[in-house]
Chains A and B, each alone.
Chain A
Amino acid sequence: MNNQNNYSWGTESLSLSLPALQLNLSGLSHLQRTVLAANYAGFVNATTHEPATQRVECRAYRLCQPLNIPTPALTVDGQYAPIKCRLPDGAGVEITGVNFKARFAMQACLPWAALGVFEERELSGEMVIQNFLRILVAHLVPPQGGAVLHSAGLVFDGRAYVFPGHSNVGKTTLTRKAYASGARVLSDDINLVLPEGAGFSAHAVPFTGEFGRTLDHTGGKASYPLEAIVLLDQGDRIEIRSPSYAEAVARLLACCPFVNTDEHETEIMLDVLTTLATRVPVIALRSSRDDSIDSIMAAVEQQLETLRSIGTLHYG
């Protein structure tokens, strides 16, 4: 990373405002800037999001040679998993993913990042910029009391429900059913929750999985009060229950990609998630692919109402 300026793609820059993050990208070529500005139109130079936004200066640079990382090295349990290691100072992080290498330090006085690719077009491609942003945000929000959850995020009547679950548990299927019934989709893959008032809110982020993008993923900056967290499991029929506090925290932690097994992040993630689970109801849902979204949400609402009536909506 020495003499980064010598390796810049160009002299253009772009500012992306995501929830909790203002990323000032510099060293871009005209092509890179144009494509990024189009793909993230609603997040470009947008009004700063609430709550507290962290400004990060990020320099784009060209790698001297292709990475050529074999796919198995970037895969864990069949899922894409960029290689992560700590920089020698312990505060910085280096990420190697498909076609990119990135470094960042979020807790520094002046948070910084650098994003390198070998081919000009790669930088603005979803495999690079979206994965980089996901990882960056996942590391940025824990000190703010927030978390990035591998989950489906859906909004019904202005209230957000987040459905965390491992890959192939049915998050995208659930999202498609909900979208078809008129729900707003925050993401079918990665969602951001941040503390707000006495509770939490779920934020629109430009991260999606198989479901693809809706307007919220290119221009949404809305946040919605988080009504409930519904832990997803597959089953033959709808079954709903309230997990123990520890199970809730453990399963939420399992759905915090990039940070949940990082020894520098584990303690703060446990702090965040134990707080989250005391402020937002957590229930566990087992359902089949054929269950309608109406029946699923009816079961969720009924369980929440039961918990509310007996005064156990929250842990603690």
Chain B
Amino acid sequence: MKRRTPSRPAETPSTASSDVNVLTVSEVTRRVRRALESAFPGRVLVTGEISNFKIHASGHSYFTLKDSGSEIACVMWRSAVASLRFRPADGQEVIVAGSIEVFEKSGRYQLYAQQIDPRGVGALEMALRQLREKLEKEGLFSPARKRPLPRFPKRIGIITSPTGAAIRDMLLTLERRYPCVDVLVLPVRVQGDGAASEIADAVRKINAATSALGGIDLLIVGRGGGSTEDLCAFNEEVLVRAIAASTVPVISAVGHETDFTLADLAADVRAATPTAAAELAVPVRLETLDGLSLTQRRLTIGVQRRVDLDRRTFSHLARRAPFREPEHLIRRREQRLDTWLADVLRALNARFHDRRRRLQRTEQLLSRIAPDASVAAGTRRLHERLARLHLAMTGRLLRIARNLDQRAARLQRGAPAGRIPRLSELLNDARRRVALALHQGLDARRRRLEAAEQLLNALSYRSVLQRGYSITRLKKGGTLVRDAARLSDGDRLVTEFAEGEVESRVVNARQRELFET
């Protein structure tokens, strides 16, 4: 601290003032830093040979840049390392872009590399890089812009040279894989002055003509391999923009696997080669046909399973009682029919017997009050008619029963399980119709019988009146008067004679003798 600078002793007489010229290490370093920063403001480009290139676990890279006379320590941060487009190696002549800065802690100056390029790329490469950065910033290469390719294109546009290996490779590949596609070739020059504009123009024109051409599903833009200079049309802004603006999805296919152009970056999909582009563009026809066969099998198996399932459900149902034994079902119906027929017959018989009894009673009464031959003949006829009617009805019922039996037998013979519900309905229907016919027949006959009976009754008592008898009824209710004791004073009577009738009133009910016969 107290040492003086020997070169200028006179100008620093006091310790305090001499201390002004004594610098701390930190001050020196700071001054060096300031001096360096003003000597190398901002970005510098340094050329040299790489040595000791290392990437640490942290991802940062450390290396030395040297030439025959000197060397400089270099640092490249992880983020910059990640954006390297090639792999730096010892011995490579490169140009490093970065800043010269002082690392104060160790007092060392270093080159902080932001970018490393192999030497000899020249201004063209630089310009390309600048264009790439510009378009990248505009988002032209953004993955979000990429569209999926149609899986089964109908029509493909190819923009390339009509005479190169590229078009031949693409067409052969398309024909081999998927010949059912339509191809439209738009011939262009793919290298030389104006090639980029011509290709860009073609991209725009085919986009504009899409609907006139019946729709285009996909464009392939490209060419075969060539030198970097040959491929440079595909790095020109006009073409890159045209590809990015295409409404039809674009596959780029420029050169070989190792060639990367800006057109590749702008395209929806980059193909390594023209052949690869054709492979990306279409599926394989035979595989697609196989897929269809598989789908058809799936459909058939699916429906078959559905049918089996329903059949199982059906046979499960069919096993249940009514369906399992259709004969049983029919027999039960038959039994019911038999019972019902018996019921009808019984009712019919009962009705006939009832009629016959009533007829016999009337006959007895008539023969008692008027043993008239004509009445006897009438009742006899009535008896005969009743007997005939009985016979006819019974016969008819038996015929119906026989008919039903035959029908049931027929049903039983030809009755598969599925027809049972319909057959039983048929039986029901037959039964309904039989019942209706029987009922109507019985009704008509009963009406005729009753009419005959009434007529007979009327005739029989009228014949008694002809012989001088009369009949007296109560006016109210029309009850026959058989006993004078049941009459009261004031009761109105109607007396019927053979010809006409007369109305009278009871004046002395106690004089019973008057009415006794």
| Same assembly | no
**Chain B residues with a Cβ under 8 A of chain A:** none
